[in-house]
Structure formats: C-alpha cells, structure tokens
Structure 1
C-alpha cells in the first residue's frame, strides 16, 4: 500500500517513515483514531515500509518481491488479528486465520471500513465479535517462530479494544518484552477500552479526523463528483472517509437510523401523560431490540451524533452542523431548541449507559424501553439559560 494513496495525514506519514529510516522503531505502537481516519491503511503501509526496506518515504525502491506480496496482503511476516465470531463457516473457536480470505477482500475493497462493515461482510452483524484467548494463543505461537525472511515480524491487531480480559492478560508480557525484531501495531477507536497495562507499554499515536478539503479532493479526483456535490458529502462525512463512501453509495444504513430516530423522538414528545404513546414507545423498543446488538450500538451512536448536532444548531454553531435529515416534515431547526444545556449531558449519559449494557448482553428490550421513558422526561426539560 502506497503512502501516497492514503488520504491526508502528512505529518504522521513523515514521522513513521523517518523513524523507520533512522532505525528507531518502537516495539509496540498504538494507533488511535476515529472511524474512517485511516489508521488501518497507515499501519499496513508502515509495516510494508519496514518489512520491504523501502526508502524515501514511499513504498517503492526496496524489495520488489516483498512489495508485490503486500499488494495481496500475503507477506509471511505480517500477521493480523481482528474481532471475529462464529458463523456458518466457523462453528466454534473462531480465530482470525479462519477468516483470512474474507479479511484480505475486506481491506482491499475498503481499507477505511469500520467494524460494523467487517461484521456485515462475515454475516455476523447480529453478534458481537471479539479477540479472545484462542486468538491470543495463536499470536503467541506465531511470534515465537523466526521470521520467514530473516527480518522483522509484525503483528497488526485491528480493533484492539475488542480483546477480552483473558486475551489481554495473555498478551501483556509478550507486548512488554517481545522477541527480537518483533513489532506490535495496535489499532483502536476507543483507547480507554484497552487495559491500562497494555496502553502504558505502547507508544501512542493519535490520528485526527480527515480534513474536509482532503475528502472533497478525493471525491472529485476519483469518484467523478462535481465540486459542489463533493463539498456537501465531505461536510456531512465530518472527517470520516468511510462515511463519505457510504453517503456516496447510499449504503450506510443512515436512512434507516434516521427513520427510527425521528419515530422515537416524535413518540417521546407525545408520551408525557399519554398511555397510548407509552405503548408506542414499548413497541418501538421491541422492534429495535429485534435487530442485532451491533446494529443497536451503531444506532445509539447515531442518536448521540444527532442530539449533538441539534444542540450545536441551537447555539448557532452552524459551521459545525453537518447533519441534513431527509425525512418529510422533520426540520432540524425546529427540533434543535429542545436540546440544550440542561439536558444534553443527561441524554448523552443515558445513551452511553444503554450502549454499555447492550454490549454486555443485557436485555435489549428492557434497556431500550427504559431509555425511551427517560428520553420522554429529558426532552421536556427547560433550558437553564
């Protein structure tokens, strides 16, 4: 993967290639960035730069045979670990190796894809993937062997926050004191979800959201959009290139999320002192609970963004508002005054709590019904200003 193909982030590219050129490569690094910011393609390009002894800040000029292997993500000294779960193909003890073919296809088609896209590609969107102790044992086994080509071995762990406690504890000593010429590259969107003892042993590199102009240029140059169309999508993407692609192809599920959200808040507004509306909220909760847990978590994350956007619009921060609801009869300008200083923190906390309990296999119907009743109260709170 060429660094020139990775959008933006010139300072990170320069830092990584310069450190490799000088032979100052930390044995454990943690790439932290929001979805669609380019952490995965950057990690792969960095691994290629090291393993293929490339030069001049680009993945050319080194070992050509090695570079060809990277084109197919098939270098024997680059190992991957990522969240998986059982499906029709793998009935028990799922590990990354069992899904290697699907992983290569996923990365080559959409290196900016998020974890939900990955689960969809495996057909496990109704399950919660993880990096478990079986995976940790495989990692220990792989890294105990000598490298195939006599140089470095690199273990790239994508979505390292999905490591369960057993896996984290099993890998802790290895990350702290890896074998000679062994490098760990951990990637996460949620740094705090990785246990502190692992984080403290990694050099952390934070990836900012992509610039609006960077996404706009990519859409114009490679997706045949006009400047106006590209600017609109780039603004709505809010620094997330994966979201820009979903907006371009209308396949990100946001239309469905918007429909659920607007139905939810409209019913919540009616529900105060209205028994029939309470029944509607319960019915709504049941319908959302019938979807997979990952879908529920994605939806609650979407709700959080929607409420934040409404608050920004309420306080006249129009330049930061990228959301453009398409539902007939719903106007963000009219909804915005109901989201303010006196309820936004509580709304956010309730959504975060719901996501936490759903992730830990709580009863989704009860969690979402409780959340809906609380939302009814919070939407009717008056601003303190």
Structure 2
C-alpha cells in the first residue's frame, strides 16, 4: 500500500512522511478516525514507507522486495491483530489471517460489518482475547526476519477487554526496532492504560470533494449524483460505496415529494407511496431514511442561522431554504428526525415496511400540522 493509492488525507500523509525523514517515529501510535477515512490504509502505507529499501521524499518505491511483500500483506515482519470470533478452530487472529488478507486485497476500505461478513460469526461477539495478546508478545519477542523494523498493526483496539493490560509492558518497553500502530474509531472505548502509552494521530474525515471526485473518476457517476452521495456519506467512503451499490432511487426527489404529501395532508398519495417504498428492499429503504435525517439536520442549521455551514447539493439547497422559511421550525424538524431514526432502527430489525412507512407517514402529517395556503401555492 503506497500513499498515492490512498484517497485524500494529504496533510496526514505529509506529516507521516516527515516523521520518518526527521527520524522521530514514535514507537507506539494511535491512528484515530471515523470509519471510511482510510486510517487503516495510512497505517499500512506508513509501515511500508518505513521499511522501503528505496523510499523517495514522497512515497515508498513500490518495487523493492519489501514493498512487493507489503503490497500482498505477506511481509514476515508485518503483523496484524484485529477483532475475531473465537471458536474451537479460531484461537487467535492468525487463524483467520487468510480471510483478512483476502478482504484487504479485495478492498482495503473496510469496517467491522464487512469484516464480520467474511467470518463465521454465529451469535458470538467479536473481541481481541488474552490468547491473541500472548501471541502478539510472542511474535514481537523474535528478532526481525528481514526488515529493519517489525510492525504490529492492531485494528480496532476498542475490542481489547481488560486482558489488553497484558500488552502494556511490551508497548511501554518494546523490543528494539518495533513499531506499534493502533487504528481506532472510538477513543472512549479504548483502555485508558493503553491510551496513555500511545501518541495519538487524529485523521480527519474525507472531504466531500474527495468523495465526489472518487465517484466521478472511478465509477463514472455524474457530478450531481456524486454530490448527493457525498453529502449523505459524510466523509465515509465505505458508506458512499454502499450508497452507489444500492442506488436505484433518487432519494432527494422522493423525500421532497414525501414531505409535500405530508404538508398537503395527502393521505391517499402517502398510502400509494408506502406501497412503492415497501418494494425497494431494505438497503434502499435505510438509505432513504438516512437521507431524510441528513437533509432535515441541514435544514436545522438553516433554522438556527448557520446557513453557511450547510453542505447540501445545489439542486436541493433551494428546497431546504423554502422548507425552512415557510414550514419547519426546530421542534418540528427534531420530531421528524426522531421518527425517521426510529424507523431506521426498526427497518434494520426487519420490521414490516408497509406498516412501518404508513405509520411514519401519518406521524409526518401530524407533526407538520397541515396549514392552509392559497390554492396553487407550493413552498416545498
């Protein structure tokens, strides 16, 4: 994995390269970021850059023996640790290493849901257990096989329970030329004793422009649609890809029409729309609800006088302004968002979509509180 293969994050790339050039690589670092930002990729590219035999001022060479092994995640001095589902056949992370490598080779932008889908999870909870901690200590106690620096990349250290304290000594006093790179998304769930022994590198979400450019250049999505996906993904490239994979409906137009039905107290139209929604499939239904939640949150910014912070695509911004000016107030927007969030929760748990969306539609009518305007007037 080279830095040039990672979308965006240019300032973080420069920072990481600079630490190597100035010989101030901290032996234990925590890459902290939200899902879909590329934090795991940055950790791998950083390790590859450190061990590259012919690195340049901007990236690893990509062709030396070390880089070629890093590209396939098979370098003998590159070790991974990650949550897994323990069983009689799976004791430590190395028992599912082939699945891990296969997933990264297929698409290194991953999250726990994607990883879970590659394994036999049954009803178990993912974690990094004490056996894995002991295996890490054992592996890192050996001398480096061929690289100058041994690297352990631990993905989601939040899944270390108190057994993770077994790693404190080796992290605080590591063997010579050993680098720990932890990649996390929730700082509050990490053991405080572990957190205090690492240098935190905060990685921002991807910008809307990065995601839009990726969708346009790599998937041929038109600019308006890419802007809509980027808005809904909110810096998460994994989410943007999921939206693209399930994109069969224009959520912006459909949601605006749904609001018009509620505003106009058009119950019969809502019943017909409910029938249509029920046939979309669960992922499209979830995306529709997520779009509505995001859209109304942007409307709330307008209502709060923070219109400069709104990042709606241009073609839906006018609708949001009209809606905020003539129909919504903050309590109303909050009430509708709550209904949509509850609907999203129930859709994930396989609720009957016809009953669910009909109930939400009726709640929408009740919340908006139909107002009578001159015939022909349409504000949203």
Q: TM-score, normalised by structure 1?
A: 0.68
CA shift for structure 1 position 123 = 3.5
**Which residue among 242, 246, 249 is the counterpart of 2:245?**
249
Number of matched residues?
A: 313
Please identify the structure whose Cα radius of gyration is greater: 2
Cross-structure match for 2:114: 117
The runs of 5 or more residues in structure 1 that have no matched partner are 256-261, 263-298, 323-332, 355-379
1:40·1:158 contact (CA, 8 Å) conserved in 2? yes
The answer to whether residue 74 in structure 2 is matched with residue 97 in structure 1 is no
* Backbone CA RMSD of aligned residues: 4.4
CA shift for structure 1 position 48 = 0.3
CA shift for structure 1 position 91 = 2.9
CA distance in 1 between partners of 2:196 and 2:331 (Å): 37
1:76·1:148 contact (CA, 8 Å) conserved in 2? yes
Cross-structure match for 1:66: 66
Which ranges of 4 or more aligned residues in structure 1 deviate by more than 4 Å? 302-309, 336-339, 341-344
CA distance in 1 between partners of 2:300 and 2:204 (Å): 26
Equivalence map 1:110-259=2 (5 Å)? 110-124=107-121, 126-166=123-163, 168-250=164-246
CA 1:226–1:93 in structure 2 vs 1: closer, same or farther (change >3 Å)?
Answer: closer
Aligned-partner SS, 1:100: helix
Aligned-partner SS, 1:122: coil
CA distance in 1 between partners of 2:214 and 2:10 (Å): 15
Equivalence map 1:78-93=2 (5 Å)? 78-86=78-86, 90-92=87-89
109-118 or 302-311: which moved more? Answer: 302-311
Cross-structure match for 2:255: none
CA shift for structure 1 position 129 = 0.6
1:311·1:337 contact (CA, 8 Å) conserved in 2? no
Cross-structure match for 2:296: 310
CA distance in 1 between partners of 2:15 and 2:219 (Å): 30
CA distance in 2 between partners of 1:204 and 1:305 (Å): 33
Q: TM-score, normalised by structure 2?
A: 0.69
1:209·1:240 contact (CA, 8 Å) conserved in 2? yes
2:148·2:177 contact (CA, 8 Å) conserved in 1? yes
CA distance in 1 between partners of 2:58 and 2:212 (Å): 25
1:83·1:159 contact (CA, 8 Å) conserved in 2? yes
> Cα deviations across residues 107-156 of structure 1 (Å, max 9, x unaligned)?
12221111111101114274321111011000000000000015110000
> Cα deviations across residues 233-289 of structure 1 (Å, max 9, x unaligned)?
2222111111111111129xxx9xxxxxx9xxxxxxxxxxxxxxxxxxxxxxxxxxx
1:310·1:339 contact (CA, 8 Å) conserved in 2? no
The runs of 5 or more residues in structure 2 that have no matched partner are 252-257, 259-285, 314-322, 346-365, 368-380
Cross-structure match for 1:277: none
Cross-structure match for 2:14: 14
CA distance in 1 between partners of 2:135 and 2:332 (Å): 49
Aligned-partner SS, 1:154: strand
1:311·1:340 contact (CA, 8 Å) conserved in 2? no
The answer to whether residue 316 in structure 2 is matched with residue 319 in structure 1 is no
CA distance in 2 between partners of 1:342 and 1:150 (Å): 57
CA shift for structure 1 position 182 = 0.5
Aligned-partner SS, 2:181: strand
2:82·2:154 contact (CA, 8 Å) conserved in 1? yes
Aligned-partner SS, 2:31: strand
Aligned-partner SS, 2:152: strand
CA 1:202–1:304 in structure 2 vs 1: closer, same or farther (change >3 Å)?
Answer: farther
